[in-house]
Structure 1
């Protein structure tokens, strides 16, 4: 995490804002289709509207049954005949609502903030995937999907407003890919991950004097980050295959002027004296590298078993908390939040109900990425996660398939315990003590696959 403060001119700030708006227009359609989600042990989701939702990600990098393998393991394209395409969409509802505890500073009020994730708990997702056969052994592919981050919105006057009011951290990936079949058993694949990152963060500022109400600090930026996805697929025999993937770290370097509004004269003077009022904020987010190993085995004409084990390096993520600890004696606009690496394990099955119908089942677990057990930051109300998925798909013709899938992600009860030395009455953020009870997310997806 890199954070830097310096004075900037109004002209430079205007140039920055025009540039950010330009990139926003470029990514608007992609973001609408492929907005990121928060589910896993960290902020990378396996849910992009495909059959993997019903499998709870079991067999993620070994299934290779449709064009979504461009995203999950590019080497799997060597199993696809001809030209294939898949389009997916999903709707999610997250039960992430805050309960204020008795230790919270009374002057913060009793507004619980409402449903924190999405709009009233709802937010969309999905993706588009394409595979083209240059020859039986050489494939080209392209994927568009968003699996990093989420929108987070609390009521403006909620009890934790001095820690966060709203924040959006999204990554939409464009993935041109290639795969080559080395021999009858081994295939290799690679893809360029061009990730368009979108970041906003808004927090209330304690003006101390009630006559002024709350001030506001906002950061808004867009940027590109670059990474590489590598995949290997090894077919042990006709019915069993093993997939191994590595996705590199992607650096999203956000930067922008600190936009303050509605500051009281006293707070504005204190910020100006500290050199923070006209500062530039740099936020270096590192989307973590990850490794996934998966297996698929066809037991008989009806049953297949799938499994996955994965690792994500969240210890280098370096997310930031924007705000002011004490407006009477401001020191910094930012503080770092430490994280730890996570592990993922999943198991699932496919059952051939009839010639046109295939059913999917799966369960998975992700370890937590916030280091203090069940205690989390209101900036990221998630940690460990259990997934339970079910789905089915129907072969409509020799060239088309459609499917439905649903998944429930249980995050348990998460606590907050944020305490400050400066009371709210003299400019502090106050103590925010409470919990997010029985957090969970329902994922509903639909997809269609075509061969040409």
Structure 2
């Protein structure tokens, strides 16, 4: 029962693959969307700091809760190139992410004051992974039909003000991982059609979030966070269906038909430093710089390279570490209204420049955010934010030695043109 509730929660609050230079998103439906993540762990203006920097809770009074929701639309469609094997067909797969490009996100955050210097908090949010689904008969079906890799984090946290300038925070990251994969298998005999391989497992992973906040004075502060690596170890027996006798026999001889498949996913560790500077009563400047260790991610491509000679169900995909830079501003339009602006850049985590795997049609990312929030009363604030994430044009160049006619995956050559994601969020913060 508990696992089912967590799965529902993960589907609701997980954000998406279309974001950072990797698969970790900064978008949780909060004001950070309008800032394009600028000042991410130094802002500490509401209860979302429980997630972004637990040390920031020392700036919050009493009990505070923030609930957020967001709706995203991803323009991620494949264009088949002239080098693609003709026998793979002409189906481009449709919108790869979400349901016709749409998918939800959000989070919930709570902070409690034990004393003016000691705070406790809890957050639930999903900022790792997203569902990816192509048409079953699309040209790249022997590489992927659908995959879901989600991580929802439950974060109990604590913060303590050491003195009037320095605060420290820590949290336990209990991440519930969901991994599902489906890929077509090439039966060389047309009468059988395509076979299918499915993989499905859930796993818990554990990590730590540490935060520091240093307040230079009342209007200027620095935030520093470290999020540890989280290991998600999946193990399940792949399910095969509609295999021709020849393919089934080959898989059985290779010991692959009834095997257990272990897949280790390492959600990368990351470090980020942010600044918040109140320039005057109207303007504040925010900035962030971060690093994520995607070189240890360990993602694999599930499928069969050549059904006439099956040797493995997985293929490793290499990755590289990424860098994040963001700059933004806040403008006090009037006493109740605060406007947010931001721009950010994340370097790519796939090593071959603009050439990517259809499992992950993303790489570098530019963010452009704008938002506003209104103080409704002394105890409540609500806000809206929007962000556009531009990923550029991404190419695929996957080639195999075995032709499609004899059981190979075929050559998949093409591109995802002008990829981008629109994020729309709404949130509310309450003091009790």
- Specify if TM > 0.5: yes
C-alpha change, 1:168 and 1:421, in structure 2 (3 Å) is same
d(CA) in 1 for partners of 2:130 and 2:48? Answer: 21
Identify the match of residue 46 of structure 2 among 37, 60, 66. 66
Identify the match of residue 136 of structure 2 among 152, 156, 167. 156
| Structure 1 counterpart of 2:98 | 118
d(CA) in 2 for partners of 1:112 and 1:153? Answer: 12
Q: Contact between 2:7 and 2:178, CA under 8 Å: does it hold in 1?
A: no
Deviations 1:151-174 (A, max 9, x none): 000000000000000000000000
Q: Contact between 2:15 and 2:27, CA under 8 Å: does it hold in 1?
A: no
- Give runs of aligned pairs for residues 201-212 of structure 1, distance below 5 A: 201-212=181-192
Identify the match of residue 430 of structure 1 among 396, 407, 410. 410
Deviations 1:15-39 (A, max 9, x none): xxxxxxx664131331243123111
| Structure 2 counterpart of 1:5 | none
Q: Contact between 1:36 and 1:171, CA under 8 Å: does it hold in 2?
A: no
| Structure 1 counterpart of 2:263 | 283
1:172 to 2:152 alignment: yes
Q: CA deviation at 1:314?
A: 0.1
1:29 to 2:3 alignment: no
d(CA) in 1 for partners of 2:141 and 2:248? Answer: 19
d(CA) in 2 for partners of 1:397 and 1:36? Answer: 30
- Name the SS for the 1:52 alignment partner: helix
| Structure 2 counterpart of 1:383 | 363
- Give runs of aligned pairs for residues 30-49 of structure 1, distance below 5 A: 30-38=9-17, 39-49=19-29
| Structure 1 counterpart of 2:248 | 268
Q: CA deviation at 1:239?
A: 1.0
Q: CA deviation at 1:118?
A: 0.7
Q: CA deviation at 1:258?
A: 1.1
Q: Which blocks of at least 5 consecutive residues in structure 2 are unaligned?
A: none
Deviations 1:5-64 (A, max 9, x none): xxxxxxxxxxxxxxxxx6641313312431231110000000000000000000000000
Q: CA deviation at 1:226?
A: 0.2
- Name the SS for the 1:162 alignment partner: coil
Q: CA deviation at 1:237?
A: 1.3
1:228 to 2:205 alignment: no
Most deviating of 33-42 and 197-206: 33-42
d(CA) in 2 for partners of 1:27 and 1:98? Answer: 32
- Give runs of aligned pairs for residues 214-253 of structure 1, distance below 5 A: 214-253=194-233
1:189 to 2:169 alignment: yes
For normalisation by structure 1, the TM-score amounts to 0.95
Deviations 1:377-428 (A, max 9, x none): 0000000000000000000000000000000000000000000000000000
| Structure 2 counterpart of 1:395 | 375
Identify the match of residue 37 of structure 2 among 46, 53, 57. 57
d(CA) in 2 for partners of 1:108 and 1:30? Answer: 37
| Structure 2 counterpart of 1:93 | 73
d(CA) in 1 for partners of 2:249 and 2:72? Answer: 44
For normalisation by structure 2, the TM-score amounts to 0.99
Q: Contact between 1:70 and 1:130, CA under 8 Å: does it hold in 2?
A: yes
User: Alignment length, in residue pairs?
Assistant: 431
